[in-house]
Structure 1
Amino acid sequence: MGLLKDKMISDMIVHGYSKKTIRSYTACLSILARNFQKSPLDLLPIDIYNFFLGLRQANKSDSALIIFYSAFLFFYSLLDRKEMMGLVPFPKRKRKVVAVFSKTEVKTLIGNCTTVRETSIFTLLYSSGIRIGEVLNLKVSDIDFERKAIFVVSGKGGHGRYAILADKTATLLKQYMEIYNPKFYLFFSKKGKNIPISPRTIQAAFQKIRNLSRIQKYGTVHTLRHSFATHLLEDGYCLVYIQKLLGHADIKSTLIYLHVSPSSLLQITSPLEKMGNIKLGVFENQHQYGFQFSFD
């Protein structure tokens, strides 16, 4: 796999894949090679089929299967051997309703943070809707207090974007910076200010605070992002704007929030209600009854 791996990495860099995707794809190929104890070059289409059968039997998620499929397809496409994937259909991600906290639950959760750092992290996550991985990589220089914006240098897919910096979050971050004095990473590790905080540290703190808040509903750090998007939708903001704030390349990813909050759809005013007064008259025509409309 040595030379092949190097070739694969080089081509992924040329195609503009993110470092995270490159690591994921190369890891998938390594797992495949270990599973059969041979080079992926020596496998047959039935081997790939059996590999995916094993993933399904092990109840791996649709997301995991999609990553494996995409990694293998990229690899075999480099070798002009796409037929290797011919027996395996592309795994479709099942649409599911995501967990969302109510505004009261979010307020309670943030109120039960035990340090200024915890309060800053979870307030920032909810108020901006950015991902946990994006928070880990935030630099002090990415916070633009004057423009009230957060620059997410490299989001999912390697695309940069701006996120909302709420006034309350800005005030809290200024307080946090005075106390913790971050130099490079906004939220740094206990190992040093030049090392970003780990995702495990944030996830552990979240579950501790969720338990303190006595929130029985299942939730993870990512639930704050879902809550941000759902609450914007409920407040009447356009789905396209929400898509841009979340950094979704495809509007289909944002459409899950229509399933999360169907009540927001039912609160839309019908255009009929905006037509002014309507007189309804009943008429008879060849023994058929209907309504006759007249608009004032």
Structure 2
Amino acid sequence: MLKDKMILDMTVHGYAKKTIRSYTMCMYILVRYFQKSPLDLEPFDIYTFFLNMRQANKSDSTLVIFYSAFLFFYNLLGRKDMLELVPFPKRKRTVVAVFSQTEVTAFLTNCSSVCEKTIFTLLYSSGIRIGEVLNLQVKDIDFERKAIFISSGKGGHSRYAILADKTASLLKQYMEIYNPKTYLFFSQKGKNIPISPRTVQAAFQKIRNLSGIQKYATVHTLRHSFATHLLEDGYSLVYIQKLLGHADIKSTLIYLHVSPNSLLKITSPLEKIGNIRLGIFENQNQYGFQFR
């Protein structure tokens, strides 16, 4: 079966489970759109499909996912020509939302429970993704080394994240009250089931409103804020890249665009040159050249 073959090949290539689900869903949508097997389609059909998505104002990110899914599928069949009429969708460079440190303080102050405060403090203080927080287990917290082990990061990569002292204190308080067994943050359905992303997102929006923060933001904004504040404090992009778990530093470079203040703090090389006499010239001829 084509679907099974595609899933097996993506698994062998080390694709994340989320990516596998996304790609198979893209193929399902393609089949449903044309009401026939993808084997019976022609390059112009794929062109028509993308034209329809453009006319429906689908985002560039969505188009990239569909393009990548179709490319993977048709490469398996030796049909690279199927996408020859469609240019690779380029993502427009966007500026991500970032909380100021004052807004972070207001947000964390308005958390209504120890659970909420612990989750969102952990997200901001470590910069880890929401999916990584949901998958955290009790054994992943190393209080002695002040580290958080991320066993299933994006792309299947593992790494360590920062465990701040204030976060560690909150975590200890949280663990005393809630007594987690396997998953650190568990569902109301049971301690062996992780809390759902929808529950965390809903709590985030509730707290954002209570804090009077008007700008558009999601849970991921806390990760953006973590990286931006580190950059503004003078930390190297390479260190930030490793903490965020970015495989390519290009993903980290976005924070140069959201943090112009860090660029303005750079000292001009002129300031390092001593003994330069700067004065006002009263006679135009002193310049050595004239403006006409």
TM-score by length of 1: 0.93
Q: 1:276 to 1:7 in 2, by over 3 A?
A: same
User: Unaligned 5+ residue runs, structure 1?
Assistant: 291-296
After TM superposition, give the deviation of residue 273 of structure 1 in Å: 1.7
Partner SS state of residue 201, structure 1: helix
Alignment of 1:142-181 (within 5 A): 142-181=140-179
> Structure 1: which amino acid aligns with 2:7?
I
Distance in structure 2 (CA, Å) of the matches to 1:57 and 1:178:
54
**Correspondent of 2:39 among 38, 41, 48:** 41
> Structure 2: which amino acid aligns with 1:53?
L
> Structure 1: which amino acid aligns with 2:49?
F
After TM superposition, give the deviation of residue 248 of structure 1 in Å: 1.2
The superposition leaves residues 179-232 of structure 1 with CA deviations (integer Å, 9 ceiling, x where unpaired) of: 101111111100011111000000000011111111111111111111111111
> Structure 2: which amino acid aligns with 1:243?
Q
Distance in structure 1 (CA, Å) of the matches to 2:221 and 2:250:
19
Distance in structure 2 (CA, Å) of the matches to 1:288 and 1:174:
69
1:184 is aligned to 2:182:
yes
> Structure 2: which amino acid aligns with 1:12?
M
Equivalent residues, number: 286
**Correspondent of 2:209 among 195, 208, 211:** 211
The residue that corresponds to 1:14 in the other structure is 12
Partner SS state of residue 278, structure 1: coil
After TM superposition, give the deviation of residue 279 of structure 1 in Å: 4.1
RMSD of the TM alignment (CA)?
Answer: 1.7
The residue that corresponds to 1:50 in the other structure is 48
More strand by share: 1
Distance in structure 1 (CA, Å) of the matches to 2:111 and 2:104:
11
The residue that corresponds to 2:70 in the other structure is 72
Please say which of residues 180-189 and 155-164 is displaced more in the overlay: 155-164
Distance in structure 2 (CA, Å) of the matches to 1:170 and 1:21:
32
The superposition leaves residues 102-121 of structure 1 with CA deviations (integer Å, 9 ceiling, x where unpaired) of: 00000000000000000000
User: Unaligned 5+ residue runs, structure 2?
Assistant: none
The superposition leaves residues 136-190 of structure 1 with CA deviations (integer Å, 9 ceiling, x where unpaired) of: 1111111111111111112112211111111100110011011101111111100
1:81 is aligned to 2:79:
yes
Identity within the alignment, % = 80
Q: 1:287 to 1:109 in 2, by over 3 A?
A: closer
> Structure 2: which amino acid aligns with 1:210?
R
The residue that corresponds to 1:294 in the other structure is none
After TM superposition, give the deviation of residue 276 of structure 1 in Å: 3.5
1:240 is aligned to 2:238:
yes
The superposition leaves residues 5-28 of structure 1 with CA deviations (integer Å, 9 ceiling, x where unpaired) of: 111111111111111111111111
Distance in structure 1 (CA, Å) of the matches to 2:43 and 2:27:
15
After TM superposition, give the deviation of residue 82 of structure 1 in Å: 0.5
The superposition leaves residues 267-294 of structure 1 with CA deviations (integer Å, 9 ceiling, x where unpaired) of: 1112332234334599x9x99628xxxx
Q: 1:141 to 1:280 in 2, by over 3 A?
A: same
The residue that corresponds to 1:111 in the other structure is 109
Partner SS state of residue 104, structure 2: helix
> Structure 2: which amino acid aligns with 1:200?
R
Distance in structure 1 (CA, Å) of the matches to 2:56 and 2:208:
30
Distance in structure 2 (CA, Å) of the matches to 1:102 and 1:113:
17
**Correspondent of 1:249 among 221, 227, 247:** 247
